[in-house]
């Protein structure tokens, strides 16, 4: 069970939206907050990202060719050729007929920079704890051999955008969609092996990882702390302590969270009857499921489904 893929899939509420941004110095672009997670890929040239608002670290970040930036909460920020360049507000992107993404051109006649900018539609109202524990801003340089798979994806994107050919309209969105997994995998694999807690440690832990895989693989099973501890090869008490320390909540709390997350996804994306959704998430009756769902989401499953469909 690929827990990273499952966690992201549970939060997705739409397809990524992206624009190709061309800047020639001096240039500055203020980007408003978005509902989801933002990202930037430097295809060529250099620039700076200047955090705004209550960023934990307000220092500007220098970006070079191949660099990738991920903004966990889609916070507002500025992109510019230099931190001191006054920014202008971003305008709606131009989408040309048949083009796989929009374009924005800004600046004068100085040194040029090209970026792929966009955001992933992720439900931030109930983020998976794996995503919630990520830093607000992740900066991943891919030059000098770092993160070869992410670097390869960036190079493929650059090639398709610089020289669109037959199939590019399908290839570019697929690469952008895959980019999110490459970004988060690179960050997780960058974490020290000695990390004491957190999801980066949990996914590689010999006891907690098998228990997480079991819960994700079969959320309808009647799991208990004892049965999950058996999967982990630990005593009940030792397993509960280790799981809570790494994941951030006790095993049964996480099981309930994942059951409700799975149920919400089924309600958004399928026409399955409530009895089927209840059975697939470990509840013996529609009534018990509806009660648990309303406790977690603040509204009945039917209302949640209708609101999700209306917003899509």
Give the rounded percent of residues in the chain with a pLDDT score beyond 70.
Answer: 96
Is residue 16 domain-shared with residue 164, that is, in the same domain?
yes
Is residue 116 domain-shared with residue 21, that is, in the same domain?
yes
Is residue 207 domain-shared with residue 179, that is, in the same domain?
no
Instruction: Give the pTM.
Output: 0.86
Q: Residue 183 CB: number of other CB atoms within 10 A?
A: 23
Report residue 196's pLDDT band, with 50, 70 and 90 as the boundaries.
Answer: low
Reported in sequence order, the residue ranges of the chain that DSSP labels E, i.e. its strands, are: 17-24, 28-31, 37-44, 47-51, 61-63, 68-71, 77-80, 88-89, 102-107, 112-120, 137-140
Per-residue pLDDT tens digits for 111-148? 999 999 988 988 877 788 888 889 999 999 987 778 89
Kindly tell me if the per-residue pLDDT of 271 is higher than 90: yes
Is residue 95 domain-shared with residue 26, that is, in the same domain?
yes
Read off the tokens for 287.
Answer: 């009534």
Report residue 207's pLDDT band, with 50, 70 and 90 as the boundaries.
Answer: very high
Is residue 13 domain-shared with residue 119, that is, in the same domain?
yes
Diameter over CA atoms, the chain: 67
Q: How high is the pLDDT of residue 294?
A: 95
Total domain count for the chain? 2
Omega before 95 cis (within 30°)? no
Kindly tell me if the per-residue pLDDT of 292 is higher than 80: yes
Q: Is residue 195 part of a domain?
A: no
Q: Is residue 131 part of a domain?
A: yes
Final residue before a domain boundary, out of 170, 190, 210: 190
Is residue 204 domain-shared with residue 79, that is, in the same domain?
no
Q: How high is the pLDDT of residue 98?
A: 60
Is residue 224 domain-shared with residue 288, that is, in the same domain?
yes
Is residue 49 domain-shared with residue 178, that is, in the same domain?
yes
Q: Is residue 290 part of a domain?
A: yes
Is residue 140 domain-shared with residue 221, that is, in the same domain?
no
Final residue before a domain boundary, out of 135, 163, 190: 190
Final residue before a domain boundary, out of 190, 209, 228: 190
Per-residue pLDDT tens digits for 258-269? 999 999 999 999
Q: Is residue 28 part of a domain?
A: yes
Residue ranges making up the domain that contains 248: 200-311
Identify the three-state secondary structure at position 175: helix
Q: How high is the pLDDT of residue 54?
A: 80
Report residue 61's pLDDT band, with 50, 70 and 90 as the boundaries.
Answer: very high
Per-residue DSSP letter, 186: H
Q: Is residue 183 part of a domain?
A: yes
Is residue 155 domain-shared with residue 274, that is, in the same domain?
no
User: Which CATH number do you get for residue 7?
Assistant: 2.60.120.280
Q: How high is the pLDDT of residue 93?
A: 77
Is residue 209 domain-shared with residue 294, that is, in the same domain?
yes
Is residue 184 domain-shared with residue 206, that is, in the same domain?
no
| Cα 73–chain centre separation | 9
Q: Is residue 263 part of a domain?
A: yes
Q: What is the CA radius of gyration of the chain?
A: 22
Omega before 26 cis (within 30°)? yes
Residues composing the chain: 312
Q: How high is the pLDDT of residue 199?
A: 87
User: Which CATH number do you get for residue 304?
Assistant: 1.10.10.60
């Amino acid at each position: 069970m690929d827990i990273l893929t499952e966690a992201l899939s549970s939060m997705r509420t739409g397809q990524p939206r992206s624009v190709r941004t061309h800047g020639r110095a001096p240039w500055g672009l203020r980007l408003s907050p978005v509902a989801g997670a933002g990202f930037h890929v430097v295809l060529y040239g250099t620039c700076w990202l200047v955090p705004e608002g209550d960023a934990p670290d307000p220092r500007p970040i220098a970006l070079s060719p191949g660099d990738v930036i991920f903004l966990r909460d889609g916070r507002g920020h500025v992109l510019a050729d230099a931190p001191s360049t006054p920014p202008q507000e971003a305008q709606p992107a131009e989408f040309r007929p048949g083009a796989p993404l929009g374009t924005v051109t800004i600046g004068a006649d100085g040194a040029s920079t090209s970026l792929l900018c966009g955001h992933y539609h992720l439900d931030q109202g109930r983020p998976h704890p794996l995503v919630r524990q990520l830093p607000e801003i992740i900066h991943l340089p891919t030059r000098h051999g770092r993160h070869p798979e992410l670097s390869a994806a960036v190079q493929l994107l650059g090639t398709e955008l610089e020289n669109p050919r037959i199939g590019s309209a399908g290839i570019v969105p697929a690469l952008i969609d895959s980019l999110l997994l490459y970004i988060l995998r690179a960050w997780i694999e960058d974490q020290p092996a000695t990390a004491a807690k957190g999801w980066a440690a949990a996914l590689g832990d010999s006891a907690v990882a098998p228990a997480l895989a079991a819960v994700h693989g079969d959320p309808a099973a009647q799991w208990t702390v004892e049965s999950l501890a058996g999967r982990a090869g630990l005593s009940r008490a030792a397993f509960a302590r280790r799981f809570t320390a790494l994941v951030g909540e006790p095993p049964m709390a996480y099981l309930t969270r994942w059951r409700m997350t799975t149920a919400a996804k089924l309600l958004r994306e399928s026409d399955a009857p409530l009895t089927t959704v209840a059975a697939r998430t470990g509840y013996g009756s529609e009534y018990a499921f509806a009660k648990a769902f309303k406790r977690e989401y603040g509204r009945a499953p039917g209302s949640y489904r209708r609101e999700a469909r209306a917003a899509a």
